[in-house]
Each structure stands twice: as C-alpha cells, then as structure tokens.
Amino acid sequence: MSPKTGKRAGIYIALIVASVLSIFHLVNARFFEVLEEKTLDMRFTMRGKIAPGPETVIAAIDEKSINKLGRFPWTRSMWARVVDRLTEDGAKVIVFDVFFTEPENVESDDLLQQAIRRSGRVVLPLVFDFSEAGFKESGFTNKKVEVMVPSSYAVVRHADDSPFPLQAKMVLPPLYRFSSVANTMGHINMIPDNDGTLRWEMLAIGYQGDYYPPIGLQAVRLYRDLKNEDMSFDRQGGVTLGDTFIPTDEYGRMLINYRGPDRTFPMYSISDILDRTMPAGTFKNKIVLIGATAIGIYDLRVTPFSSNMAGIEKHASVVDNILHKDFIYRTEASVYLLIFFFAIALGITIPRLGAKAGVALFLALFAGYLGIVYYLFVAKGIWFNLVYPASALFFGYTSQTAYRFFMEERRARDIRKMFSSYVSKRIVDELIRDPSKAKLGGDRKEITVLFSDIRGFTTFSEKHQPEEVVSLLNEYLGAMTEIVFEHEGTLDKFVGDAIMALWGAPIGQPDHAERAVKCALAMIDKLKQLQAKWASEGKYVIDIGIGINTGDMVVGNMGAEGKKMDYTVIGDNVNLGARLEGLTRKYNNHIIISEYTYGKVKDIVVAKELDSVTVKGKENPVVVYDLVGLK
C-alpha cells in the first residue's frame, strides 16, 4: 500500500464514520441517546453535591415516625396536628406529597379540613393518568374537575400549535372538602427515561383543555407571593414565573439539576415535629415538603445520584432550582460540525503519524473535549452532547487504526502460513502474539506430559484390511484429540497410534497436572463407550495405556531453522512419561502416574501405589501409582 493510497483511504473512512454518526443523530438512535443520558449522570456524580438554599426543608415520613406513630397511612386528625404545628412555627408554604383521596371519617376529615383552611398556605397533590388505567383505581375520573381549574396555568401561549404530547386522560384529585380549602394544587407525576432514571420534571400536563404545573412550581409561586396570573406556560419552550424564565423542551419538561445524593436537604421527622423537639422558628419562612423517605412506603426513585432516592427529595431539588434560577440548558448546536471536524481531522493526521503519535493525538483530543463538556456543565449549566463528537473521535481513530492493522496483517499471515502446517492453532496464535518464541531452542519450565498408546496395535493392523485399520484409528484419535482440547491441552504429536499431549505450555497453566489427570480419566471413559460401540458393530476392540509425568522440561521449537521445526518438549521427565505408559502392560491397568504428578494431585484423586521402579534414564527408583479416579 503506497503512502498516497493510505492517505486517500483515511479521508474516505473519515467521511463514512462522520456520515453514519450524523444519520444516527438525525434519527435519534436510541442506543446513543441512552448513552448520552448516562454521561449526564456521570457529570452529576463527578460534580458532586451543591449546597441547596436555606428555604427548602423536608418533613419526613421516616422509619422513626412510623415506629412512634404507627403503621402508615396515618389518620387525618394526626395530619391536622402536623399542619397546625408547621403553621404555628412560621412555615411559609406547606406542600403535601401525600394523598387524601378517600374519606376517612367525618370527625377526622373535619379536623384536617379546618387545619388546611386556618393555615392558608397548603399545596395538595394531583396525579394524572395517561392510559386510562386509572379506571381500575378508586377516585380517578376522566371528567373535568372544576375545583382544579384555578390551579392550572392562567396564561398559556401557543396552545393551539399542535397536540400536546403530555395529555392526561384521567386525574385523581384530593377530596373536594380538602381541595376546596387548599391554597392551590399541583401534580406529582414522575416519568423516568427509558433506562428508569428520573431526569426531567414535567412543568405542564394537559387535561381537559387546561395545563397543570407540578407541586414544586406551585410552592415557589406561593413562597414568592405571586398570583396564578404571574405564571405562564409557553408551548414553544419555557415557563415564566414572575421574573424567572424556566427552560423546557418540546414536552414542557425541565431538566432537574439535582443538588446531590440522598439527604442533601435538611430532614425532620414528623414525630419530632409533633413532639416539638426542634427549636422554635425551625420552619420560619421555609417551604416544607411533606413526603415519605421510609423504604417500606416505596416512594423511591432512580436518579443520577442514587438508585433509591425518595421522591420528595426530587421535588425539593425542583423547588431549589426554580428559587435560585439554577437550570440546566440542553443544546445540540454544532454537534454535526464537530462530528465531521473530528472524524476528518483524524482521517488526515493518523495515516501520516506513527502509532505512538497517533495514540497521543487521539487521547489529547478526547481528553480535551471531555474537559470542555464537563466545564460547560459545571460552570455554565449547559448539557452539551458528549457521545456523538466523542464517538467521532473514537470510531475515527479506531477505524483508521484498524485499516492500518489489516493492511499490515500480511506479516501475521506469513507467520501463520509458515507454522500452521505443523503446529496447533493455539501455538500459532502464541507465536503471532510473541514472534520471539519462533526461535530455535526454548525455555525450561514445569510441565505435565501425557503419553497414550494402543495395546497390540501392530498385531491388529497386520490382521485387518488397511481401510478398516485407518477407519478405527481415525475414530479413536479423533475422540481422544477432542478430549485433550476440552481439557485445554496441547496436542504435541501423533506417533502412529500413540498420542503425546502436554499441559503448561505454550500458555502457562498453574493446574497443569490436574488438567492432565482429568483428561486421562475422561479418555478412559470415552474408550469404554467406543469399546461398547465397536463390540456391538462386530469390530475389533482395542485397549490403551496412559502414562503421565510432571517435571521440568525444555519446551520450544526444535529442528532446523528455516527448514523444519517442531514445537515439542524434551528431557528426562518426558522420557519418564513415555516409560510409564509402557508399564501399564506390566501392571495390567490403564493409567500410571509418577510420584511427581501424584504430589500435585493427591488431594483430588484416588490412586493406589503400585511399586517403586527404576526406569531407563533415572538413577533413583520412582514410585508409581495406579490412577483410579477422582475423589
């Protein structure tokens, strides 16, 4: 491949990468969208906690309160006492994330109704249903509820432009006796993204021709002493509350700028509020959000900071965002431009650079872009797309590198062609990974070697037709080879009817002896199956012996460099393994292992000591064992 051809190919590859990513972005490919959302979560966790303002606190239905006040839900008379306590202590706004949708009893309901009326600062929750499934639940209705209308947006702009995506079919309002005396109402619906994470607050839900805000927005409106007419919803991109503009997407949703993980906001137990254990004025001029934090009530949400954050803490973040005008703006400006810029920049430079310089350039661009995106999020509150431009860098670099790799693969193919005819694929792969192992000679290492031979094979081959001999031998060798590979052994060679296999090379295996004995036992089991099969077919039934030894051996490529080499093992311990196979005829058993192998596997095998023998090549006697099976 000429340099000119490589440079031209680099540009073509860059254009392909940029075009494909641009199409994915155009059609909002779900995989990339989810990935982008996950990177937003990562930005939150990297940024960490932001101290919220002092205005927002939580009155918690926690484990402590449940233990003291009894099983939830609690009586309306108890909630009346909570409203009175908070009102007396100077709370500016009291927001309930607790439903009062069914009557309890007249006396208790009267007490709560009177407490709400006396307070004059209570926000009650609504819940909408988008699928009419609410018909199955008591209290849902698909009719217009007149008492709700004053809580809707008084001003809606561009309402007739197109059907509103978040259009509810049913609603579950509080009982009339409570909603009629509450200061206002707001919805508490939460719709997570497809991955289950809650990242957005729906600032408007359409129902029966009106648009309803959430309780957090209503709480801020009351806190700032604004009228309903001071709050407007623009279908084309935002909500205005007095002098505060809140950015929204086409669904009327606001990105929640979570302040931090669980318990970022001050929390007070309901039981402590009733017992007056806090100093007077604790709630003075505060927005008090009442909701569940106890795990057993199951009002837990997945957020960028937590997999089980209480829903009331999400409402608190929304309130704090609006109070302090601390919003996150999502923008997709210049994303296409960046995709093409990064892809083409790498397409021009990578073919002209060496491998190290190419990696350095890629890492510098990637890290620089990550830093800029993170800075925009933390310092400017801007959610700028990370995934698509970063993907242009990643795929641009990897595709250029892959092209170069495939062009240089010829060297690896030459090695594969040279060795594949006489060594196993596993050895070839090792040689390609580390070509230095292709030298003559080798390394000394501890290895376990296995020898297997057919008994009486010469007599059998002399008395049968060659076709029958080859057929039976191929069936036997094929089955045994498969077992060796199943136990991750290296098949060294076939010598006629004999098999030589080893463990521990070329890839190190700390349990090489264990693998070898398990392989031998599996070979005998398979042999018994084959013997039964051959007997049923009227064929000659062969038997085998196996010898196994463990010890230091020299392993590597042996032979004439440049002409013929063979990857194998040599040494006295190899010879001992071969001698042990021969001893199986003397002791009339199937598997003999040396004392060295036995020492490695004695905790897992059943073996009987046979004898202490002196074999050729060894001065001292070697204790040998009959391998019976596994413990």
DSSP per position, 603-631: TTEEEEEEEEE--TT-SS-EEEEEEEEE-
Cis preceding-peptide flag for 266 (omega within 30 of 0)? no
- Please tell me the number of Cα atoms within 13 Å of 172 on its side-chain side: 21
What tens digit of pLDDT does each residue of 551-569 get?
Answer: 999 988 777 765 666 778 8
Neighbouring CB atoms inside 10 A of 383's CB total 22
pLDDT of 411: 58
Predicted local distance difference test score (pLDDT) of residue 1 = 45
Residues lower than pLDDT 70 in the chain: 1-7, 134-137, 298, 407-428, 430-432, 434-441, 561-565, 617
pLDDT at residue number 55: 96
Burial 154-171 (b: 16+ CB within 10 A, else e): bebeebeeeebebebbbb
Q: What is the DSSP string of 135-185?
A: GGSTT-BSS--GGGGGGS-SEEESTTSS--SSB-SEEEPPPHHHHTTSSEE
Q: How far apart are CA 582 and CA 630, in angstroms?
A: 23
CA dist., res. 561 & res. 438, Å (int): 9
> Which element (helix H / strand E) includes 243?
none
pLDDT of res. 162: 79
Residue 423's pLDDT is what? 45
Indicate the pairing of strand 287-292 with strand 93-96: parallel
* Cα gap 88→283, rounded to integer Å: 9
CA dihedral 316, 319, 321, 322 (to 10 degrees): 180
| Residue 615 confidence (pLDDT) | 72
Quote the pLDDT of residue 410: 59
Domains of the chain by start residue, with CATH: 3-29+331-408 (no CATH), 52-126+170-325 (no CATH), 436-630 (3.30.70.1230)
CA distances from 427 to 430, 552, 573 (A): 5, 20, 22
Distances (CA, A) of 244 to 187, 221, 239, 253: 20, 11, 8, 16
The total of other beta-carbon atoms located within 10 Å of residue 23's CB is 10
Tokens of 204: 């408007």
Tell me the HSE value of 45 on the side-chain side, using a 13 A CA sphere: 11
Look at residue 422 in the predicted model and tell me its pLDDT.
37
Helix pair 466-486, 512-536: axis angle to 10 deg: 150
User: Could you give the CA distance from residue 551 to residue 564 in angstroms, rounded to a whole number?
Assistant: 27
CA distance 537 to 540: 9
